[in-house]
Structure 1
Amino acid sequence: MKTILTVSKLRFKLLSINWIDTLSIQIRALITVLPYLLFVWYFSQNNTNNINFIVTSFLLTLFLGNNIIMVSMYLQEEKRTGRYIYYKLLSLNIFNSIIGSMISWIVVSFFGILISYSIVSIILQSSFEISSLVLAFVALLITTILSVLIGIIISYFVVKKNNIRIVFYSFSILLFFSGNLYPITVFPLPLRVVALLNPVYYGLDLVRYYLSANYEQIVSVSVEWLILIVSTLIIAIISTLLIKKKFANLFS
């Protein structure tokens, strides 16, 4: 725990020193989604449900996808620089360093998404109940943990093959089958079944539901909660076993 906090503080310090890069993280999501909002405003397309669905899905998948990618980026950095050797000499776990780095990244990235979503909500004049916001945050928190765990599993293959493209391919597939820009109800039945096997979909769908950005529910909310929690626990076990039994060979 001490290592995690130390690395996290160091990453926060680096982010504050490189404040221009940090600021770019905060506004990147807004800049990306702004053209769509201007397009909607210019052509007077005021279908709030469609706009809310697309914006919410886009911001969430941007946040979760970056979490998955950054795990591989940080692990590759540790491997390339050889810092893992110093961790061994100091009897430190490399994954404590990765978690510390991810905490700082998630906090900065989350506030960027929050700022963007708040501005969009003001533009759309959206209103939410406190209970819905709390449940949306809890669902997002669990899904954030899930994204990091998935990132750890993918990073094993990235480091093993020394190919960062693996995480981008995996990331694209996961997001496609999470209904990131359109409801999965428009998928053909075989693709819809595949989407329902994707645990990220349930976390994303729950957040959309509580932020009133959802379409027809394929699965009931209570079942989605159950699947999300169970999936997170299963993937946590898999990633833990992978760390204990496989990663040691990569950093030897």
Structure 2
Amino acid sequence: MSAVPEASARPAWCEPQEWAARVKLAATYRVFHQLGWTELIFNHITLRVPGSQPHFLINPFGLTYDEIKASNLVKIDLGGQILSPSDYPINPAGFVIHSAIHANVADAHCVMHTHTTAGLAVACMEGGLAPTNFYSAQLHDMVAYHDFEGITVHDDEKPRLLKSMGDRRLLILRNHGLLAHGVNLAHAFALLWTLNRACEIQLATDSMRGQAIPIDPAITARATRDALQFSPEHGAGENVLAALIRRVERIDPSYKE
């Protein structure tokens, strides 16, 4: 089943394809709110606007995720210029990280960044993500690391961030948080959910007495090949995201406004 929610009344200033993208992105912000993947008014999910122009949608700076609606998402270009009617600015820190990836990775149509407790805790550990649980075993050679340089508001960090990320879709920002990019919302979500879940299990495991059982690299490589939920050819999380959006719809359908 598609994760695209039923469209609501579209404003005259917005093209149909862009409105559909706005509705689905707003729904995903509400999903993050329900999962607790929020940090007051901070952090971002950005989505490429359908079409030939390098424009993308970002949350307005000042609203919590449960206040996000299709109509109040902000369309910007790669220079950070606001291109849609908006009563709010954008967060420079979000713009720097997300625009670097959108501008330089051709199929990075969606970028997600979180500061969850588990994700940030693992990002603060020297060893990073450990291959010791069911979820981290599905991320063999899929995670890159970028050293902390402070608050990400400086453009000169962009090339170093891109170099750190390389060709991997998951990036642990050391001392900072988690990041995923995908070919669409559901793809990025499936990747980020798995990484965050791996961090949650690692956080719990590290709090217990005893030694975690390492998983052989040959097994993690096989588990990653078998984890078809990341593959666009096998839905790449569309059914999961659709189910979570249906839950949002039952609770509060105002995201479609």
The two structures have a TM-score, normalised by structure 1, of: 0.31
Higher helix share: 1
Q: Which has the larger radius of gyration?
A: 1
Higher strand share: 2
